[in-house]
Structure 1
Amino acid sequence: MAAAARPQLVYLVFGADTYHQEALFSIASAIAKLGNPGELPLDIQVFTDNPAPYAQLPVRIRPLSAETRQAWCQPHGYHFRTKHVAIREVLKDTELALLIDTDTFFHASPLALFERIQPGTLLVNARTMRYRQGAASPLYSVLAPELKAQGMADDDMWLLNSGVIGLYQCDSALLDRSLELMDQYYPRTPTAYTLEEFCLTLAAYQRYQVSECPDLIHHYWSRKQLMRAKVQAWARKHAGQPLSADALADVSQVSDHVPRPPALQRLLYKAATLALPVEQRQFMREILYGCYDHANEFDRACAPVWWDKARQNLQERQDTPVEADQLLHWLSSPLNRLILGKRRHTIYQHLIQA
């Protein structure tokens, strides 16, 4: 297969190490599902400001300077505009491309995603909700009257999640249109976090077929901190050799389930905390969720996330700030010392540092 005809799997990664760790794991999961790291039937391109994390991966690095990224965000400095520019750049040189967000991993071969793209078809992660269901958003309150009047949208239009954007080169005009709409509507809806997805939706609506792939990838925009903890644990263990047999085997151990204790254990935690003052009970149950000894090492890595969530939820329940003295007092009570044992020192240190 000629290079220009090979499917192109594209990532756009810049900024904090977290995003590079996510991309590293996503790429490793793609290669693991392809089955043969030495002979990939597709090309992987990474637009990035930091090529170092990808040194051990069979990818093409597309250097992304701060100046280029800023230019891609213009005319309004809109951060997510860069996604559409990146895949449009790739489609200048290739027949078929798919841009995927870093907070993803593969349940199946990436080739299965490309099989869902045909000329005239836009592949996205998923349909999310009807336009009318987002009536509280400025994308509806500000734009809906004029979009309906112009025949560009209606209340039943499905909004799209752009964690995946897949297109044939012959359909790249869709990206030109979505960029035009972003530039037009951003000044009127600057607080709309999903403007990029919305403009992709408008550009495709009634003009292109839409295909989805939530069964083929997991896009962890929900429960992100728990999933990041798993991914970061994998990256700490395997970043030096991400394509080793052990690393690829461990990919399948990073599951998409929320690592809660079993139902019976949760009942035991509830019973154990009934003797605590009412205001401490929910906090301690959530702390104990992070103490459960999961068999899976990547589920165990989620413990600090549960502890952080316990503190966050406590803060939302009380009017005064959660201070270190309060945490120390609660964790040092006789019952909590009995329940937590020596783990309470680790928990306390994590919470005050966080």
Structure 2
Amino acid sequence: MNTAAPTPRPQLVYLVFGAETYHQEAVFSIASALALLRDAQDAAIDIQVFSDNPEPYRLLPVRVRPLDEATRKRWCEPHGYHFRTKHVVLRQVLQESEVALLIDTDTFFHHSPTALFERVQPGTLLCNAFYTKYGDNRESILYSALHQRLRDMGVADDDMMTLNSGVMGLHQQDAHVLDRSIELMDELFPHAQGAYTLEEFCLSIAAYRTLNVRECPDLIHHYWSRKQLFRAKVKAWIAKHAANPTSALALDDTRQVSAHLPRPPRLQRLMYKLVTLVLPKNQQQFIREILYGCYEHENEFDQACAPVWWDKARQNQEERQKRPIDAHLLEHWFANPVVRLILGERREAIYEHLMKSPGK
């Protein structure tokens, strides 16, 4: 049992394990926080990283807390639900700290982390964002599978707001909400029909009519949508700054990784639409989307998204035609003289990329 007095310093917490891309996301998210903490007065916060791999964080001013496979699996029990681990980690930190905030790796900061902690007051849960009222999405698995059970339990109704748990911030005195959310996950998992978001749904139930809930989409960007585009930006930043991620240039460059989707301007998109009208109808949208990745962005991190547009063009085409684009068809389309003219000198690089990239 931990008998030490809890630290009053706010704790910014990450949970990272598995594929390299998650560690890259976390490193960039931490760097974006550090960049903004430079400008904040009284920015006395600690950053903790629970991770199976300490190496990516070696050059960052963080406390790495080793997370071995056996511990992680234990925290996922009794059903092997890995998102349960988020609540266990935050609960553990709140045993040691007066206030803590766990944030997902696929995030970056618009404002100093201190602004988030200002919203974590006693009696308040800070989440990333509200979704909708529970009863507004009756087609969801969570509604069809659980609504009657929850009504019978008396813990939720159609007016309950559902929450995005990309951010979870609490005071130590309110840690009981995590005990309840973990209890609900364990109880409801067998009935939830594999619902991916059961974890944040149980947090919604645990906080309902118990805590004031605030959100913070104005303070951070959580790129759970269009993830591949933002991962391309992050990977470009990592490639440039991995050797010195806390240098002034590296921290300044975090501001250049923006929340906007790097699409061509509207007039340019209209031009792409017009120029592709001369192609066979079944190729027009495909080449149009390929051209999205050919636009020359001034921002180097937006420019790094080009291959993502090409891969997305292929995926969309395969979904439209309900079959993969095989090598023969790809070669035939890219050999079209009009396509050669439209794509110009980039045609060969795009073709080679698509030939090497696995289809959907």
**Unaligned ranges ≥5, structure 2:** none
Q: Are 1:234 and 2:237 matched, yes or no?
A: yes
Q: Are 1:112 and 2:115 matched, yes or no?
A: yes
Which of 15, 34, 37 does residue 37 from structure 2 map onto?
34
Query: What residue number does 1:15 align with?
Result: 18
Q: Provide, for residues 39-78 of structure 1, a one-character-per-residue CA deviation record: whole Å limited to 9, x for no partner.
A: 9510000000111111111000100001110000000000
Residues 145-156 of structure 1 mapped to structure 2, 5 A cutoff: 145-156=148-159
- Partners of 2:43 and 2:73 lie apart in 1 by 33
- Partners of 2:277 and 2:140 lie apart in 1 by 41
Instruction: Give the TM-score normalised by the residue count of structure 2.
Output: 0.96
Q: What residue identity is the alignment partner of 1:124?
A: C
- Partners of 1:36 and 1:218 lie apart in 2 by 19
Deviation, 1:153, is 1.1
Q: Secondary structure at the match of 1:105?
A: strand
Confirm or deny: 8 A CA contact 2:6 2:95 kept in the other structure: no
Q: Provide, for residues 210-233 of structure 1, a one-character-per-residue CA deviation record: whole Å limited to 9, x for no partner.
A: 011000000001111111111111
Q: Provide, for residues 70-113 of structure 1, a one-character-per-residue CA deviation record: whole Å limited to 9, x for no partner.
A: 00000000010000001111111110000000000000010000
Deviation, 1:151, is 2.5
* Identical counterparts, % of pairs: 65
Q: Are 1:250 and 2:253 matched, yes or no?
A: yes
- Partners of 1:82 and 1:89 lie apart in 2 by 10
Q: What residue identity is the alignment partner of 2:10?
A: P
Q: What residue identity is the alignment partner of 1:106?
A: F
Q: Provide, for residues 250-295 of structure 1, a one-character-per-residue CA deviation record: whole Å limited to 9, x for no partner.
A: 1110000011101111111111111000000000000000000000
Query: What residue number does 2:304 align with?
Result: 301
Q: Are 1:336 and 2:339 matched, yes or no?
A: yes
Query: What residue number does 1:196 align with?
Result: 199
Query: What residue number does 1:345 align with?
Result: 348
Residues 110-149 of structure 1 mapped to structure 2, 5 A cutoff: 110-149=113-152
Q: What residue identity is the alignment partner of 2:341?
A: L
- Partners of 2:322 and 2:83 lie apart in 1 by 36
Q: Secondary structure at the match of 1:166?
A: strand
Query: What residue number does 2:325 align with?
Result: 322
- Partners of 2:53 and 2:199 lie apart in 1 by 24
Deviation, 1:137, is 2.1
Q: What residue identity is the alignment partner of 2:190?
A: P
RMSD of the alignment, in Å? 1.5
Q: What residue identity is the alignment partner of 2:349?
A: T
Aligned residues: 353
- Partners of 1:209 and 1:3 lie apart in 2 by 23
- Partners of 2:141 and 2:264 lie apart in 1 by 39
- Partners of 2:335 and 2:346 lie apart in 1 by 11
Query: What residue number does 2:210 align with?
Result: 207
1:3–1:240 distance in 2 versus 1, CA, 3 Å: farther
Q: What residue identity is the alignment partner of 2:153?
A: Q
- Partners of 2:305 and 2:99 lie apart in 1 by 37
Q: What residue identity is the alignment partner of 2:277?
A: L
Instruction: Give the TM-score normalised by the residue count of structure 1.
Output: 0.97
Deviation, 1:353, is 1.6
Q: Secondary structure at the match of 1:258?
A: coil
- Partners of 1:305 and 1:321 lie apart in 2 by 18
